[in-house]
């Protein structure tokens, strides 16, 4: 039996535990996908034709590689150009875990939450969602967790969490993303008004 040593910093381990929700099977699946991506990226450096074969096989068999690899391949970007430092080093960092699982990065959620609470944000949130390939339901889930970290009156927080849960519920049944993005903006506008009223 071959023992494999993994280079996992504390932040990467914390992200792995958080995204797997404490389920060891999910954690192992994330590690397997991570290893598969490293293998594909290293082999495709030697043979760019493999990228096209992987794309065709994954598209036909229903097996999915992370969306960003497929999207970049469709855009004509060679997989050999995708070896960024977090994948090339084979270090399982926090960013690598989030990118591997296609979950929004904490810094993106923090930025989106800032826009929602402080600025005119409809276009910015939509642009970030499109540019990073994020699903609105993932954004809503992560923003909900981030709301617990923000200091605000408990009645405003309770209303905000309740409204975010309603949006997540509607998204789980396939409601239109644009309508729910409008709802997301509306509930944060309402929360912003409540916060301003408390300060006055």
Looking at per-residue pLDDT, the higher value among 196 and 117 belongs to 196
Q: Which of 92, 116, 94, 91 is nearest to 103 (CA)?
A: 94
Same domain, 97 and 28: yes
Residue at a domain's end among 82, 101, 120: 101
Q: How many domains does the chain have?
A: 2
Which residue is associated with the tokens 């591997």? 100
Which residue range forms the structural domain that includes residue 95?
10-101
> Can you read off the two tokens belonging to residue 153?
């009156």
Do 22 and 88 lie in a common domain? yes
Can you tell me the distance from the alpha carbon of 45 to that of 2, in angstroms, rounded to the nearest whole number? 26
**95 and 147: one domain?**
no
Specify if 28 maps to a domain.
yes
* Phi, then psi, of 22 in degrees rounded to 5: 80, 5
Radius of gyration of the chain (CA): 19
66-110 residue pLDDT tens:
444 544 444 443 444 444 434 445 677 888 888 777 788 888 888
pLDDT tens digits, residue range 145-167? 899 988 889 999 999 999 999 99
CA distance 50 to 133: 24
CATH value at residue 159? 1.20.272.10
Instruction: Note whether 65 and 117 are same-domain residues.
Output: no
What is the total residue count of the chain? 200
CA 37 to chain centre: 17
Are 110 and 194 contained in the same domain?
yes
Average pLDDT value for the chain: 74
Is there a domain that residue 157 lies in?
A: yes
What is the model's pTM? 0.55
């Amino acid at each position: 039996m071959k023992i494999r040593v993994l280079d996992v910093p504390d932040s990467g381990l914390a992200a792995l535990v958080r995204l797997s929700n404490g389920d060891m099977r999910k954690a192992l699946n994330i590690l397997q996908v991570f290893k598969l991506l490293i293998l594909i990226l290293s082999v495709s450096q030697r043979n760019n034709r493999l990228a096209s074969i992987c794309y065709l096989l994954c598209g036909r068999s229903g097996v999915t590689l992370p969306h960003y690899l497929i999207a970049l391949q469709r855009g004509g970007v060679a997989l050999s150009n995708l070896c960024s430092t977090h994948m090339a080093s084979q270090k399982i960092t926090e960013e690598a875990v989030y990118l591997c699982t296609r979950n929004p990065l904490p810094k993106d959620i923090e930025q989106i939450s800032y826009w929602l609470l402080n600025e005119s944000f409809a276009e910015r949130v939509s642009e970030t969602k499109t540019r990073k390939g994020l699903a609105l339901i993932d954004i809503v889930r992560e923003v909900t967790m981030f709301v617990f970290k923000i200091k605000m009156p408990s009645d405003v927080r309770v209303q905000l969490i309740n409204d975010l849960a309603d949006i997540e519920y509607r998204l789980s049944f396939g409601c239109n993303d644009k309508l729910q993005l409008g709802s997301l903006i509306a509930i944060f506008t309402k929360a912003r008004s409540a916060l301003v009223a408390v300060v006055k």
